[in-house]
A and B are shown apart, each in its own frame.
Chain A
Amino acid sequence: MYHEPILELGEEPLVKPGSTLHDITEDVCRVAESKMPRAWYVAFSIALVFVAIFAVSVATLFWRGIGAWGNTGPTFWAWDITNFVWWVGIGHAGTLISAVLFIFRQRWRTAINRFAEAMTLFAVLGAMTFAGIHVGRPWVIYYLFPLPDQMSLWPSFKSPLLWDVFAVGTYFTVSLLFWFTGLVPDLATMRDRATTPWRRRVFGFFAMGWRGSNRSWRNYERAYLILAGISTPLVISVHSVVAMDFATSIIPGWHTTIFPPYFVVGAVFSGFAMVMTVLLVARKIFKLERVILPRHLDLMNKVILLTSCLIGFAYATEFFIAWYSGNPYELYVFKNRAVGPYSWAYWTMVVCNVIVPQIFWKKSMRTNVPVMWVVSILINVGMWFERFVIIVTSLHRDFLPSSWGMFHPSIVDIGTFTGSIGVFFAGFLLFMRYLPVVAMSEVKGTMAQADPHYVAHHAEPEDGVSRESAAAALAMEAES
C-alpha cells in the first residue's frame, strides 16, 4: 500500500520512510495531549527546585545589593554578564535555524526549528533577566528606556549597553513573533483534536481562526517569509552588539575588532550545542525518532564542527594580534589568560570548544547519540567559560598592577546561574507539555505525500493538513 516517495538523486528522506501524514500528527500531538511520562515529572520537579533557588537568589540579590554576588573591584562584571552573554548566545540557534536555514531552503530544519525557536525564547528571557538584575539599582532600570520625562532626560546613545537594550529587545520580539507565526497551523491542529472545551478555547484563541484555507496558507507563508527576512540580519546584529559591549571599551582583551564576528560564530556554536542537548533527550523521551532522524543530527554536528573550527581560528587570531600589535598591555592579558591564575578556565574553554568537537570529522561520531550528547554538554560548558575568560581575565589584570585582583563567586552567584538553567528548563518542559514540539505542518511539507505528483493508494484520514493543502503550501513555497 505504501508508495515510495519520489526523491532526487542522492536525496534522503527527511521523515522516516513509511510514515503517513497522520503518523506525524499523532507523534507530535500525542506528546502534548497524553499524560506526561514519568521522566517529564522528574525533570520538571528538578527544574522547579532550581526555579526556587533562582527566586531565592534574586531576592537575596535585590535585598542586599550587588555585593551579594562575588563581583568586586576590578572585576565589576563577572558571572552576571558571563551568564547574560551565554544565554544570548544560546538564543542564537533559534533564529539561525528558523530564518537563515529557511531562506537557504535547508528543509531538514523542519524537524528541529520549533525546538530551537522555543529554546531561543527561553534563553533570551534568561539573558534579559541577567541584564536586568545585574544593575545596582534595578528599581530604576526604566531609565534605560527613552521615556519622555519633564527633565528631557534621555538615555545615552553613545553607550553600547543601550544598543544592547535595543538589540536584545528587538531580537526577543521578532523571535517571539516568528515562533508564534509558525505555531498557528499547528495550534489549529491541536484545537481540532482538542477533547475538552478548555483546550479548544485556548488553542482556538491562539489559532486565530485558522481554517487551513488557501487564503490562510497564502498569508501565512508570506508572513513567515517576511519575518524570516527580518530575523536574518538580527542573527548577525544581536550578538555583534553584545560583542560591542566589550569591543568599544578600552580594556585590553576587550578592545578587539574581531569580537563581533567571533561572538556571532560562538553564539551559533553554543546555540546548536544547546539545541542538541535538549533535542536528544526529548527525542528519546517522546519517541520522536520518526521525525528527528540521524541525518538531522549529522547535519547539525557538521555545523557544530564548522563553528568550532572558526572559534579556534578566532582564538588563535587574538593571540597573534596581541603579539603583532606590539601593545604590552594587550600581550600581557593574553599571556595571563594562558598561564595566569585563571589559565584553568582558559584551557577548559579551549579543550571544550576547539579540541573536543574535532571528533565530528568522523561520520560515526556525528551519528552516535551518546557521544554527541556529551560533546554538546561540553560545548555548553566551554562556551560559558569563553565568556568568563573574556570578562574576568581581562578585567582582573588591566593597566595598573596596583588594582589587580581576583574574582571569587559567592553562593548567590552559583544560585542565580544554576537557577537560571532551572528556569530555562522549566519553561521548556512546559512548552513540551502544552505545545507541539515539532512543526507538524512544515514537516509534512517535506514528505512524499506533499509532493503534487504523489498519488494516494488509499484515502488518508483527515488531519489538520490535507494532502491538498500540504501540496498547495509546497507550491506556494516554491513560488515565493
Chain B
Amino acid sequence: MNDSSKLPPNPLPEVSRRGFLGSLTASLALLGTEGCRRATEKVVPYQSVPEQVIPGQAMHFATVYARRGDAVGLVVESHEGRPTKIEGNPLHPSSLGAVDAITQASVLDLYDPERTPSPLRAGAKSTWDAFAAELDARLSKHATDLGATLRVLATPTNSPTVQRLRAAFGRRFPAARVHTYAPVDAANVHAGSTLALGRAMQPLLAFDQAKVILSLDSDFLQTEPGNVRAHRSFSVGRAVTSPQSSMSRLYVVEPGWSTTGLAADHRLPLPAGRVPAYAAALAAELARLGLPLGAVGDAAATVKATGAFEPRWIQAVAKDLLRGGKSSVLVVGTRQPAIVHALACAVNRALGSEGPVVSYVDAFDPSEAKAADLASLVSAIGAGKVETLLLLGGNPVYDAPADLHVQETLSKVQLTAHLAGFVDETSAGCVWHLPMTHELEAWGDQRALDGTVALQQPLIAPLFGGKSELEIWASLAGEKDARPYDLVRATSRAPLLLESGLTSSGDGKDGKIDCTDALGVHVQYPVLGFEHDWKKALRDGVLAAAKVGAPVLDPGAALALRAPDIAAELAKTELAAPPTRERLEVAFTVDAKMLDGRHANNTWLQELADPITKITWDNAGLVSPKTASELGIETGDVIKLSRGDRSVTIAAYVLPGTADGTVILPLGWGRTQAGRIGNRRGFDVFPLRTTDAMGFAGGVSATRTGERYEFARTQQSDSMEGRPLVREATLEEYRQKPHFAELEVAPRRSLPLWTDVDYSKGHQWGMTIDLNACTGCSACVVACQAENNIPVVGKEEVAKGRDMQWLRIDRYFEGEAEEPRALVQPMACVQCEEAPCENVCPVAALEHSAEGLSEITYNRCIGTRYCANNCPYKVRRFNFLNWHNDGVWNETGGLPETLQMQQNPNVTVRFRGVIEKCSYCVQRIQSHRLATKREGRDLRDGDIVTACQQTCPADAIVFGDLNDLGSQVSKLAMGDRRYGLLQELGIKPRTTFLAKIQNPNPEMA
C-alpha cells in the first residue's frame, strides 16, 4: 500500500549528537523546574547537567490537548527531555485522569519522521525568515486595503490566546475575514440550541445523574466532543456495587454500531435520516402521555413520516422516559440536523432534566466551523476577492465538502500558505507549506467544554523547527516578536481574559477582580499573586479560577425555550423516507481512530483494531446482512456508491446490527498525502460528502465493481459459541442470584497434583476488569502499546494473526442477526497462579515471581513458542520477525530514530524470536516500590497504577494487592460479580472479571 516514491523528498533534519543533546537540554531547561522558569533559548550542552534531571527518573508535566471543541488535560511522562507517554490529568474536568485512544497515540505524532523540517515554498526548501519577509510585504500591502483581500482559514479554536490574537488581527485589518472549517463540527448542535434557546450553546451532560438515557445517534462515549468526561460520568451512573445498587438505562438509536451503541441496554439500528422522524414520533407520544411539550408536541403529532417504527421503541421508551422524569435525558449526535437537537432540548426541558443532568455552555468560537463558512470563502476566491490566504491547520483539500472544489480554488489565490505538520493534500496545493509544531512542542492555552482553561506547556523544543498556530496569529496581529510564552501569560492575566467574553467590575483592591460573563456568572480572579497562580496553573494544568463562559447550570430559569420556533421548524422539516435497495442511505461517521483523517500517519492508531469491526489499517463500508444480500454483496466486495454524479468505491463489510438500507462510511481514510504509513490506507469517502449532506445522505445507489479486498482483522470469529466467556445478567437476575457469574460453570473437581504455592505472604498482585464498565473504547490498548514499547507489525502481518498488542479487546456478537448484541472483554495475560505456560518452557525462561507475576526473562527465551500454544487465553505474543525493523518500517531501513525517542527506557525492547506478554506493568511496580522505599513507607493501595488502568475512562480496570484486604482490587475480587475466566482448568487466574449487568426495560421484551 505504501508508495513512498511519489512522496516529496522528506529527509530528516541533520542533527549532530551535540546538537541533539543540546535541543534536549534546551527543552529541559525550559521545563526543568516544572514550568515555573522563564523559557530560555540558550543551548546548554549536557556537561552542565540541568537541574533536577536524574537520568532514568521520569518527570511529569501537565499540559493540554485540544480535541473537537473540547480540551483534554494531560500529564505527560518525560524521560531526559523526551515525552514518552501521555496520561490524563485528574485535575482537569474533561479528563479526570483518563484519556482516549487517539490522545494516547498522539505522542507518536510528535516523533513522526515525516514531519516537515523546514518551510517549503512551491515545494522547495525555504526558511521562516523568507516567509516572514514575504508575509510582511503582503501585510503592509494589505494595510492599505484594510485587508479586504486577506483571508484566513483556520480550524475552530479553544484557545483564549488565539481568540485574543484573532480579535487583534481583526482590529488591524478590519476588512479581512477569518473563516473556520473543520470536517466534523458542532454546527448542528449550535444551530439546534440557537433554534431552541436563542444562543449557540453546547449541552453538557452529567450522565451520572441520569437514570434513563436515550441517545439519538450520539456516540457520546467515543467520537463526540467531551467523550472522556462523558465516559467517566456514564460509568459512574452504571456502576453496580451490590444487588441493592441501581443503574441507568441506555437506549441507543443509531444507523451503525458505535461504542455507545455497544454499551446500550436496548439498541435500535435506524437509518440516520430516519432519526428526526423517530424523534418527532417519540415527542408526539410523550406529549400524548402528558409531557407538557406545548406547541412542540402538537407539531410533532402532525408530522407525517413514511414508514412506521416498532411500537415498543415509541411507547415503551416514552413511558420509561416519563418514569425517569428529571433523570431522563435525550442526547443527540452532532450528525443529526438542528431540529433534532432542538426537539431534544424541548423534551429535556419538559422532563425536567435540564439542571440535574443537562446544562449548557456557550459555544466558545461563535464563528465555529460551518461548511457554509468555507463555501463563502470559496465563492469569494471564485469572485477574485482574495489575494492572500493563510490556512492555519486543517486539511480542506482532503476533507472539505466535495462540491466546493477547494483544490481547484486554491490555485486562484496569489499567495497561499498552509501551516501543517505534514506536507498533506492541502500543502501540496499551496505556495507555502509551513511546518506546524506538535501540541507537545508549543505554548498555548485551551478551554475545555465546561469553560475551564488549561495551560499548554511544551515538553520539548520543536523537533522539526515548526511554529504553532498561535505564533502565526501573533505575527498577523502585529505581535511578531512576542514569544508565545509571553502571549499565553498575557492572556492569563485577568484583564486580558475579559477580551474573550468577560466583563469586569471592581477595582482589584481586595486582590481580586470580579468578572461577570454575559450570562451573569460571576468569576473572581485574583490580581495579586499572579506569579504564584501561574506556577500553580502550570503545575496543575488548569487555571483554577478561570472559566471562560461557565455552564448555565439552571437553564430552565436562565434561558427561555422558543417552543413556537421549534414547532414551526418541525412543521417545515422534510423527513426522509426509509432507504431502499435502489436508494440507499450513506452515513458519514467520525472514525474512532482517524477522527477526520488527521491521525492517518500514526502507526498505533492504524494498527488499533476498530472497536466494532476489529479491522486494522482500513475502513470499510459497513452494511447489514439483509442489505448485503439484497445487493448481492459479501464482505470484501468492492462496491461503488453513487450519489448524483459523485461516487466513491469502498470495500464492503457485512456487519450485523447496522441499519438496513444504510451504508456506514467512516471518515478519515484513503489519504493520498499523509505519509508513508497513512497513504492509501482504506477508502476516502469525502468525495461523496457535500455541503448539503455533511452527516448523511439518501438516494445513493450501490453497484459491485467485481473487485475483492482483503481486510486484516484481529479477531476472526464473532460468536462466543455458547461458551461462558462474557458472563452477564440483567439487574433483576443479579438481585435474585448475585453470584450468578461464578455459578455459571461447575467448579473444578480434580485434586491438585502438587502442593499449592503459598501466596499468603507479601504483596500479591491482581487485577479485576469490570465488564459492566468496559465499553470497548480501546484507550487501554494504545496506552499499553505506548508504555511497553510494543511494536507495530503492519497490515499483512495482522492479517496473518501476528498482532503484538499485549492487551486486546475481544468483541462478540450474541442474539439474532437482525438485532444482535455486542459484548466486549479486555483480554491480557491473567497471570495464572498455576500458569500452563511456565511448565512447558524447556529453558526456564518463564518463572513465577513471589508476588504472583508470571515473568518472562527475554534473555533466556529461545522461542519454542510452546508457552503460547499452551496459553488457553492466547495472550502471548511472539516476535516472529524483528518487528521494530521488519514490520511497517521495513522499507525505510528500520524504526526511525525519532520514533525510538518515544520508547520507554524502563521497558526492554524485544528482539525477534522471543515471546512477550502483559507484565502487569512490572516496571511501574518496581519504580513505585523503590520510591516508597526511599520515602520509608510501605506501598499503599493506589500507588501503583498500570498503564491500562490509568487511562481507562470507565474505571473498568483495577490493579492492586490481593493480600491487602482493604485494597480496592481485593474488595472487587471478593465481590459477588467476580468470576475467573476458564478457571475450571485449574489455572487460578489472577485477573478476574466482574460480570456485566444489563438493565433492560421489561416492556421492551
Contact = CB atoms under 8 A, between A and B. Distances in A.
Interface of A: 64-67, 70-77, 134-138, 140-141, 143-144, 153-156, 158-162, 165, 245, 248-251, 328-329, 332, 395, 397-406, 408
Contact of A143 (B862, B877, B915, B985): B862
Given A72-B800, A137-B913, A156 B844 contact: yes
Interface stretch (B316-324, B574-582, B655-663, B712-720): B712-720
B874 A136 contact: no
B827 interface: yes
Given A159-B866, A250-B872, A136 B882 contact: no
Interface of B is mostly: loop
Residue of A72, A141, A250 ringed by the most chain B CB atoms within 10 A: A250
Interface of A is mostly: loop
Interface stretch (B238-246, B282-290, B520-528, B833-841): B833-841
B836 A250 contact: yes
Contacts of B808: 402
Nearest to B810: A402
A398 B982 CA distance: 12
Contacts of B464: none
Contacts of B879: 65, 136
Nearest to A407: B801
A74 B874 contact: yes
Interface string B777-804: 0000000000000000000010011110
Nearest to B714: A402
A76 B881 contact: no
Interface residues of B, number: 55
A324 B654 CA distance: 38
B536 interface: no
Interface string B416-437: 0000000000000000000000
Q: Please name the 8 residue pairs, one residue from A and one from B, whose CB atoms are nearest each other, closest first.
A: A136-B863, A136-B913, A67-B880, A402-B810, A403-B874, A67-B881, A76-B865, A137-B913
Contact of A135 (B721, B864, B874): B864
Interface in B892-918: 912-915
Residue of B725, B836, B882, B913 ringed by the most chain A CB atoms within 10 A: B913
7 contacts: A66-B881, A73-B877, A135-B913, A143-B843, A249-B870, A395-B869, A399-B723
Given A144-B843, A165-B842, A402 B862 contact: no
B869 A332 contact: no
A73 B874 CA distance: 8
B839 A158 contact: yes
Given A156-B843, A332-B721, A137 B872 contact: no
A250 B843 contact: no
Given A65-B882, A408-B800, 5 more contacts: A65-B886, A67-B802, A140-B862, A249-B866, A395-B869
Nearest to A405: B801
B881 A155 contact: no
Contact of B861 (A71, A136, A249, A399): A136
B868 A73 contact: yes
Contacts of B864: 134-136, 161
Given A144-B843, A398-B872, A74 B801 contact: yes
Contacts of B842: 144, 155-156, 159, 161-162, 165
Contact of B840 (A75, A161, A403, A404): A161
B872 A400 contact: yes
B873 interface: yes
A315 to B, nearest CB: 22
A406 B880 contact: no
B234 interface: no
Contacts of A66: 863, 865, 878, 880-881, 912-913
A287 B527 CA distance: 110
A251 B872 contact: yes
A156 B841 contact: yes
A350 B808 CA distance: 38
Given A73-B878, A162-B842, A65 B866 contact: no
B913 A251 contact: no
B411 to A, nearest CB: 47
A402 B812 contact: yes
A153 B842 CA distance: 12
A404 B843 CA distance: 28
Given A65-B886, A135-B863, A250-B836, A400 B874 contact: yes
B913 A65 contact: yes
Contacts of B878: 66, 73, 76, 136
Contacts of A156: 839, 841-844
Contacts of A158: 839-840
A64 B881 CA distance: 6
